[in-house]
Amino acid sequence: MAAILLGFVVYALRLFSLQVLDYASWMDKAEEQRISQLNLPTQRGIIYDRNNVILGRNIPSYNAIIIPADLPDDPGEQQEIFRQLSALIDTPVNLGIIDSATSPFVACKSKHGIAQIAAWAASYKPFTPVPIKCDIDRRTAMRIKERAVDWPGVDVEITPVRDYPTGVFTSNIIGYLGPIYPEIEEEMRGLGFDPSRDKIGYAGIELEYQDLLGGRNGQRVVEVDVGGQVLRDMAAPAAAAPGNNIRLTIDYRLQEAAYAILVDQINFFNARVQTQDAIMTSGVVIAINPQNGEILAMVSYPSYENNRLAQVIPGDYYEQLAADATLPLLNHAVSDQVPVGSVFKIVTGVGALNEAVVTPEQIIKTPGFIQLTEKAYANDPGRPKDFVDWINRDGSHPEGLGQLDFIHGLAFSSNVYFYKLGGGYQDEVPDGLGICRLGAYARALGYATPPEVQLPAVADGLIPDPDWKRLDQGQSWTTGDTYIASVGQGLVTATPLQVLLSAATVSMGGKLMEPSIVHEILDADGNVLETYAPRLRWDLTITPTIPIFDTTSLRDCEPTGELKAIQPWVFEKVREGMRAAVTEGTLGPLSNDAPGFYVLEARGIPAAGKTGTAEYCDIYATAKGRCVPGKWPAHAWTVAFAPYDKPEIAVVAFVYNGSEGASVAAPIVRRVLQTYFEIKAGDADLGR
């Protein structure tokens, strides 16, 4: 009796504690389980090109689902439904015994049998729809809907999935979506996202404009029973706000053509090479309107198929892309920093003329090579070193290009000419431009600064100087470093977009426009919310941007604090040199047997340009033993603008391991210019 009495006392005390002392706490917990907040998905914004061609959109994805609470109570009837559904969606009823601890069910990802998924869902939230198979075709989805009367508890769920109609042609611009990763899960929950369902941008415009495209999810506060069944709304639902739409400056017609032209040129040369070392592996084509900075096309090859990443990111495909030495996931147009080569002579030419290193009419001797004394410090006795011109690379033209004035030095891309301009040479060019002033003009023309284009991971490139080399490389600056930098070699690197901006600035007489790839932001109804106006970074002929250096200072590149502008006639002379490159220089006909084949003229519209052959020695060339002095492999460059008198398009082509700009990159630029003017003529005929 005492034991029974003691038991009643203990229970009474416990009941008193639960129902009286801890009443508020348990009531809060009960209320918390009674009230549920449902996250209502929104619609992601659409991405268009400048002519409203859809580049990124949402399409319906059909998922076969079950609601365990609605399944028949009879296990035999359940199994019959599962069997018939299995045959329709090609998913087994059972997959043996699976340990839920080591192989948990993850909707649309893990592989479990239908019966196992149903059992798991029934023990979790029986009134919550659970996907059995995701992304089934529309025909199968309709057949499931037809059988809904005979298959209680089985239905079709329609969810939006991202679709990219232009695929590989624009994937490096548009990007793709992926799941919310754990590091930002808490932050995204605070913004109203559901990490178990929602996706965010992982690259390109999808990443850069996640906040605008993503929209805002809605919310519904409901009362639920113990099984999770919704009983009623506790408040008026907060509707989801769809994401904004984005219209880009890209013209998809030119984008697709530029991609095809680049791939065709690479395949053409690769089919004729004799060794694997000569294979051209990647390339870039960018077209811009130099008048307003709008990017008309931006091709990065090789690309990837972002539609394969739309539903889930397949591990095998992603690992394949990540392991590829050509870096298809990298937007080479804005994120790849590579040697520039002779297209950099545009910078050296602008600086040399503006600093009166030479006059445009001054004749400079340009033999096949010059010998200099390489010094690392003032009292260094030095050592002799040959600096060779491109025409004498194999030693067959020791006479070089003879003697040239500025226009023809640029037109024929004489290395010796620009060595002398950059570093000086005896009494002929007593004071060269020098690395300090060379760097200043490079930065003024868009180098060493990441362009403010609306894309992620934009690189800044490198214009080296003595301080940088001492701190980063632990080495002293040598006289040879200056000579090599003057022709865009050595430590100088840039992105293809920066190279294009330098030429576009020259084409506009010194006006450097910030590049833009986004034209307008629109709401879900198509109303324009914001238009991106052209942005002038500076007019170099008006705005003083070039620092004046203190030549008496013991420090390298010590500015005085004063700035100066660039004289307008300087840009005109550089333009003339680029025009001469087309009419008689490196962009002219290679021989009388093929007149006009390499002339950068499209539809008779005069153009101006500059070629580049940039020697390189990266990890891949080193691994293949190709970094042999005097025989280094080279990238191919060509940059051009047209029409010459009033430029409306500037184009750059870069081909990795392309060897020569004139023979490999120039035809790409010519065909892109031709396509642009053909599109323009066609639009005019149609009254657009």
| Range 637-641 average pLDDT | 96
Of 218, 221, 220, 239, the closest CA to residue 34 belongs to: 221
List, by residue range, all CATH 3.90.1310.10 domains of the chain.
Answer: 34-53+166-248
Where is average pLDDT lowest: 277-281, 467-471, 518-522? 277-281
Q: Is the pLDDT of residue 524 over 70?
A: yes
> By three-state DSSP, how is residue 418 classified?
helix
Query: Which of helix, strand or coil describes residue 597?
Result: coil
Q: How far apart are CA 118 and CA 663, in angstroms?
A: 64
pLDDT at 643: 95
- CA contacts within 13 A on the Cβ side of 325: 8
For residue range 86-97, what is the model confidence (pLDDT) as tens digits? 899 888 888 765
Lowest mean pLDDT among 8-12, 262-266, 570-574, 646-650: 8-12
More confident: 9 or 500: 500
Q: What is the per-residue pLDDT for 93?
A: 87
Q: For 310-320, give one letter per residue: b (16+ CB within 10 A) or e.
A: bbeeeeeeeee
Q: Given this model, what pLDDT does residue 597 score?
A: 44
* Predicted pLDDT of residue 595: 45
Cβ-in-10-Å burial (0-12, 13-18, 19+) of 258 comes to buried
pLDDT at 28 over 70: no
CB atoms < 10 A from the CB of 244, how many? 21
Residue 478's SS3 state is coil
pLDDT at position 596: 46
Helix ranges (H only) for 340-433 are: 345-354, 406-411, 415-423
Among 397, 429, 430, 401, residue whose Cα is nearest residue 413: 401
pLDDT tens-digit profile of 540-557? Answer: 999 999 999 987 766 778
The pLDDT score that the predictor gives to residue 73 is: 87
Among 216-230, 287-301, 318-332, 404-418, name the one with the lowest average pLDDT.
216-230
Instruction: Using the predicted structure, report yes or no on whether residue 149 has a pLDDT greater than 90.
Output: no
Which pLDDT tens digit goes with each residue over 578-604? 999 998 899 886 444 444 444 577 778
Residue 601: which of 615, 589, 614, 619 has the closest Cα? 589
User: How many other CB atoms are found less than 10 A from the CB of residue 394?
Assistant: 9
What is the average pLDDT value for the chain, to the nearest integer? 89
Homologous superfamily of 252-685 in CATH? Answer: DD-peptidase/beta-lactamase superfamily (3.40.710.10)
pLDDT at 101 over 60: no
DSSP of 620-639: HHHHTT---TT---EEEEEE
Amino acid at 399: E
d(CA 496, CA 374): 31
Long-range pairs, 136-141, Cβ under 8 A, ≥24: 136/62, 136/63, 136/64, 136/89, 137/62, 138/62, 140/62, 140/64, 140/88, 140/89, 141/62, 141/64
- Predicted TM-score (pTM) of the model is 0.90
Strand boundaries in 514-672, DSSP class E: 518-522, 528-531, 536-539, 546-549, 559-564, 608-615, 634-642, 649-655
Asked whether the predicted pLDDT for residue 190 surpasses 50, the reply is yes
Cβ count within 10 A of residue 197: 13
Q: Which ranges in the chain are annotated with CATH 3.40.710.10?
A: 252-685
User: Which one-letter amino acid corresponds to residue 389?
Assistant: D
- Residue % of the chain over a pLDDT of 70: 94
Residue 12: what pLDDT?
85
Question: What confidence score (pLDDT) does residue 232 get?
Answer: 78
Q: Output 555 or 126, whichever has higher pLDDT.
A: 126
Tokens representing residue 35 in the block: 């009230």
Q: So what's the architecture of 34-53+166-248 in CATH?
A: Alpha-Beta Complex (3.90)
Pick from 63-77, 497-511, 546-560: least confident: 546-560
Matching residue, tokens 């004139």: 662
